[in-house]
Amino acid sequence: MKFIRYSDSAGRISYGAEQASGPALRIDGDIFGDYKVTTAPADVKKLLAPLVPTQILGVGLNYRHHAQESGMKAPEIPVLFAKGVNTLQNPGDAIEIPTHLASAEVDYECELAVVIGRACKNVTKANALDYVLGLTCANDVSARDWQIKKGGGQWCRGKFFDTFCPLGPRLVTLDEVPGPNLLKIATHLNGETVQDWTTSDMIFDVATLIEFLSGSTTLVPGTVILTGTPHGVGMAAKPTPRWLKAGDEVTIEIEGIGRLTNRVTLEK
């Protein structure tokens, strides 16, 4: 199944199911509970992020080559941080560079986002994927100045600003892809490909992350897990870092899921 979430011409918000051909069909109900795919075409006025997360968990330094470019040792235990649900942004809407808590070092990170469909706790790697509703693209936008120098020694401040977690364009169930760790993943900045790698480079694969994150911890339905970014972030660009600026357009692309595009503006 390929789920979308959208607002229609009357302003109502619904889920839809994309079809192999023809328009998406409207879904009645809740994709985290009972739902039915109707025969009515989805009246998509505006595409929204494919869910409203109940929480957003991030994992840092989870790709071997990215840990190297960051000058960090590959972690032995997953590095966990959180992003607020305030960070959610829709496909096509703007990433805002903070101006009140001003940042001069806003960066992109293409990430495979894993959406938990059923509550789980203390799961093992072997059955972890049973609790996954699907996958989508994420941009783990990060203000490096607030993440590293001004954030009190931990990452949350720099990753917690409004609009810093675009998700979309669709939520794809696992039966539609070869596997969560067998996907090409890329970032295109103003049309130039700046990250171009594969999810097979993850240090901790998706099943291992769910086993770890669910340890003594309930992962509630609607939990989004950001699984880390490959090398090629703007912070590590040579000879000088490549920070996002107003007017830029950034696209995250994952094989089998699609393209998530957002432009960049300044916080008003």
Residue nearest to Zn ion (CB): 140
Which range in 41-49, 85-93, 106-114, 193-201 contacts Zn ion by CB under 5 A? 106-114
Interface with Zn ion (CB under 5 A), residue total 3
Q: How far apart are CA 229 and CA 171, in angstroms?
A: 19
Site for Zn ion in 18-57 (CB under 5 A): none
Host H or E run for residue 250: strand 249-254
Which range in 37-45, 101-109, 231-239, 243-251 contacts Zn ion by CB under 5 A? 101-109
- Residue 83's φ and ψ, nearest 5 degrees, are -120, 145
Which range in 32-40, 63-71, 226-234, 235-243 contacts Zn ion by CB under 5 A? 226-234
Which range in 4-12, 41-49, 80-88, 105-113 contacts Zn ion by CB under 5 A? 105-113
Closest approach of Cβ 76 to Zn ion, in Å?
A: 18
Instruction: Give the contact letters, 156-195, x = binds to Zn ion (CB under 5 A), - = no.
Output: ----------------------------------------
Looking at 96, 105, 109, 145, which residue binds Zn ion (CB under 5 A)? 109
Closest approach of Cβ 111 to Zn ion, in Å?
A: 5
Q: How far apart are CA 102 and CA 195, in angstroms?
A: 26
Closest approach of Cβ 56 to Zn ion, in Å?
A: 11
Please spell the DSSP secondary structure of 22-91, one letter per residue.
S--EEEEE-TTS-EEEEEEEP--SEEE-S---SEEEEEES-BHHHHHHTT-PPPSS-EEEEE-GGGEE-T
Looking at 227, 229, 251, 262, which residue binds Zn ion (CB under 5 A)? 229
Closest approach of Cβ 164 to Zn ion, in Å?
A: 10
β-strands 223-226, 55-60: how paired? parallel
Neighbours of 10 (CB within 10 A): 7
| Residue 107 in contact with Zn ion, rule: CB under 5 A | no
Closest approach of Cβ 62 to Zn ion, in Å?
A: 8
Q: Which amino acid is at 26?
A: R
Q: In the chain, helix, strand, coil percent, each to 5?
A: 15, 40, 45
List Cα–Cα distances, 145 to 103, 106, 261, in angstroms.
7, 8, 24
Q: Which of 82, 18, 19 is nearest to 56 (CA)?
A: 82
Closest approach of Cβ 110 to Zn ion, in Å?
A: 9
Instruction: Give the contact letters, 111-150, x = binds to Zn ion (CB under 5 A), - = no.
Output: -----------------------------x----------
Query: Residue 194 has what DSSP assignment?
Result: E
Q: Which is nearer to Zn ion, 78 or 117 (CB)?
A: 78
- Residue 127's φ and ψ, nearest 5 degrees, are -115, 10
* Positions in the binding site for Zn ion (CB under 5 A): 109, 140, 229
